[in-house]
Structure 1
Amino acid sequence: AIAKRLLWDGLTTSVADMARREDPLFAWAGRQPDAREGVTAFLEKREPQWRMKASTDLPRDLLGLDGSKR
């Protein structure tokens, strides 16, 4: 969901602004439990058991969904 949002925002945002937004978003994503679950599931050759939901668990402030300009 984060990558999809960045893709759409990138259509109307400068490369420099997008680079500033991507770093904290991908750092946040890498610290979440689902990041570890995805890698573990891949290594164990099994389906991942995702716990997070895009509708409730994404960082609205980092995505600019809280009304702030990012």
Structure 2
Amino acid sequence: MTNLKVHTPAPADLEGDLASLRGDCARMAPHWTAPVRIAALPVSPSLIHGVTVPSRSARLLDEMSDYGD
């Protein structure tokens, strides 16, 4: 006997509609705070030293396509 599996789509809305979801998000928004943004200052290229890249990684990056290709 063959077991035929029938895939039915999941119900689109289990607990409410988009309006209720937006309301839930609006109620929760005050509980979520974003961290204070710290602006990074540019670093002089002369201060960047001691960075090494393994040859395998360098070859991999060299072979990758650029968006301009």
Which structure has the larger Rg over C-alpha atoms?
A: 2
Task: Specify which structure has the higher proportion of helix.
Answer: 1
Q: Tell me which of the two structures has the higher relative contact order, counting C-alpha pairs closer than 8 angstroms and 6 or more residues apart.
A: 1
Q: TM-score, normalised by structure 2?
A: 0.29
Q: TM-score, normalised by structure 1?
A: 0.29
